[in-house]
Structure 1
């Protein structure tokens, strides 16, 4: 295998560099985007229970926000739980955009590698063919080994570029889909908490919020 890679010439260097980056991103995203890490089981119901019981001290909220992306989203609503529904919803939307952006971290880089992998392979192909033609111009076509070296270099670069690009593209689409699914699930949990904060516990009469009296002028 090492001999084959070396036969691809110096154009293999950027392809191998991209493959190393892609591998690191894939491993990191697989670990970070575990469902148990993003959406801890039962967390949404537990947070709603906390809200009903009033267990919402600042330290509790800080621990919730640092525990998981879902916890961060729900904690953002609890911080402004005494405000109007529109304000709570706006805070959820703002925090949700930040959480989704962090879950998509490095995916643009992975998509770029999937895009440029075949181009780097094509670049190596062109370099190999140029070298083959130069060898033919200097020594003629009497020695087929000179042509074989350039053709081999071209084919190795092309194949390696595709080997890097195809898995990178598939995994890029997979992680994008996974993040989109997580966002839908987190939105459901956020709506459930929003309803609890503004309408009270389902099945129980909603407690009216006290009106603020205007300050005397």
Structure 2
């Protein structure tokens, strides 16, 4: 592996740095955006049961706030359980926007890496081409074979590494964007159920 990096020359280092950052973001988002962590299936029945049993307490709101993103939305709505349906929905929507922003954390960076990696590879290709032309325009009139070979390796390796980083970065960026959208819709539906149950418009 080190031999490949050495053959690719110094332009490969920004691509390697981008790949490390992308891998870190992908791992963190895979862990954070798990369905059971963001929208636990049993949370709504538990909240409704506790609400009907003992109402809203500060301890209940604190537990929900620290439980999950869905719990944060429920906590925002339950703080206004004595208000009208419209006010309760507004508080839930405000909390939902904040939660959605947190779920999208680092995705812009991942998308930027997916877009820039081929350009960084292209930059390495240009550096390699410059070295090739430098080898062919030496003062002796004949090209330096070693410098020519190094320029070719720089050009090819950087282009390949740039594409290699861009492809998985773009795949996971699209995947996470779609997953966040699906999670936001699911949280909206569950929050709406909570509002309707509390205001007696729906049975649980």
TM range (shorter): over 0.9
Q: Determine the structure 2 residue equivalent to 1:128.
A: 128
In structure 1, what is the Cα distance between the partners aligned to 2:197 and 2:113? 44
Q: Determine the structure 2 residue equivalent to 1:157.
A: 158
Consecutive unaligned residues in structure 2, runs of 5 or more: none
Q: Determine the structure 2 residue equivalent to 1:207.
A: none
Q: How many residues align?
A: 203
| Per-residue deviation, residues 1-42 of structure 1 (Å, max 9, x unmatched) | 210111111101100000010011111111111111111121
**Cα distance, 1:145 vs structure 2:** 3.8
CA-based RMSD of the aligned residues comes to 1.5
Consecutive unaligned residues in structure 1, runs of 5 or more: 204-217
Q: Determine the structure 2 residue equivalent to 1:65.
A: 65
| Per-residue deviation, residues 143-169 of structure 1 (Å, max 9, x unmatched) | 544322211110000000000010000
Structure 1 residues 202 and 153: alpha-carbon distance in aligned structure 2, compared to 1, 3 A threshold: same
Q: Determine the structure 1 residue equivalent to 2:171.
A: 170
In structure 2, what is the Cα distance between the partners aligned to 1:142 and 1:86? 77
Q: Work out whether residues 65 and 71 of structure 1, in 8 Å CA contact, stay in contact via their aligned partners in 2.
A: yes
Name the SS of the counterpart of 2:137 in structure 1. helix
In structure 2, what is the Cα distance between the partners aligned to 1:53 and 1:40? 21
TM-score, structure 1 as length reference: 0.89
* Structure whose alpha-carbon radius of gyration is higher: 1
Q: Determine the structure 2 residue equivalent to 1:94.
A: 94
In structure 1, what is the Cα distance between the partners aligned to 2:203 and 2:196? 9
